[in-house]
Structure 1
Amino acid sequence: MGFDDVLNKIFAWWNGATIGTLFTIAKRGRFVGTDEIGNKYYEAKDNSSYDGRKRRWVVYEGYADASKVPADWHGWLRYTFDLPPTEAPLPRRAWEKDHLPNFTGTPMAWRPQGSLAAEAKRPAATGDYQAWTPE
């Protein structure tokens, strides 16, 4: 681990776990599993939350963005499911697509045809437009 990595662990909370978070995880957390993106999920060793349930949390792989959490892990984090997807995976239907995070504001965002941000040229006008003029 280089000097830049150490500085990132101390100050860059938006890009993975900081040193303080890693210390808390080592002291109070129990590793539960990892999703297909690389996010890591933890549960408290004791019932430390205000409602008596074990606290659950995620450490994001890379940039911290809540839309990177797949539906099955989201359900576990929010206590919809008692068992994590590593123990009781959700059944998948043939028509279900893989989870994708929200790409808005990134280079991978969808840009429709005709958008100024799209790489393709806008199609030529077809002549079916008539401008409105006041009478």
Structure 2
Amino acid sequence: MIEFLKQFFTWWNSRTLGLWLYTWRKGEFVGEDEFGNRYYRAPSALPQSIAERRWVVYNGYAEASMIPPGWHGWMHHRQANPPTKNDYQPREWEKPHQPNLTGTARAYRPPGSIMGSTWPKVAKPDYEAWRPE
């Protein structure tokens, strides 16, 4: 019952009931990435704009930065074929994915930040004001 309510009310937690029904009715499974995200496509209702509609069902929390580079190109219609058909190999300079930690307790906070663990340093003046003697 809890899972049904999550699907009905939370769009950020995997997929909603509407997306599940749309995927079931029209979606064609294309592939899955290393994070467990599943990719689908369907013919577009407006063929004069794009040939097909493409979407992802996230494994867990819906975070757009969890899409690997190969799948990102396919999702944004930069590549006609998905990485499963192209035998996509990441470039040697590409780094592995790191989650976006903004808004969490593990977010980066530079030294002196008011959200940091240490007190902000008192600013030292860049000049000394002239005082008449």
* TM-score, length-scaled by structure 1: 0.77
Q: Determine what percentage of the aligned residue pairs are the same residue.
A: 41
2:74 to 69, 73, 76: 76
1:134 aligns with 2:132: no
1:99 aligns with 2:97: yes
Letter in 2 for 1:36: E
1:27 aligns with 2:25: yes
Structure 1 unaligned residues grouped into runs of 5+: none
How big is the alpha-carbon RMSD for the aligned residues of Structure 1 and Structure 2? 2.7
* TM-score, length-scaled by structure 2: 0.78
CA contact (8 A) 2:71 2:82 kept: yes
Q: Deviations over 1:59-108 (max 9, x none)?
A: 12222222222211110011111111111133323332112232211233
Q: Which residue does the alignment assign to 1:18?
A: 16
CA distance, structure 1, for counterparts of residue 67 and residue 99 of structure 2: 8
1:48 aligns with 2:45: yes
Letter in 2 for 1:55: R
1:38 to 36, 39, 43: 36
Structure 1 pair 49/35, CA: closer, same or farther in 2 (3 Å)?
Answer: farther
Alpha-carbon offset, residue 117 of structure 1? 4.3
CA contact (8 A) 1:43 1:57 kept: yes
Letter in 1 for 2:40: Y
Q: Which moved more, 1:12-21 or 1:58-67?
A: 58-67
CA distance, structure 1, for counterparts of residue 79 and residue 25 of structure 2: 25
Alpha-carbon offset, residue 131 of structure 1? 5.8
Structure 2 unaligned residues grouped into runs of 5+: none
CA distance, structure 1, for counterparts of residue 107 and residue 35 of structure 2: 18
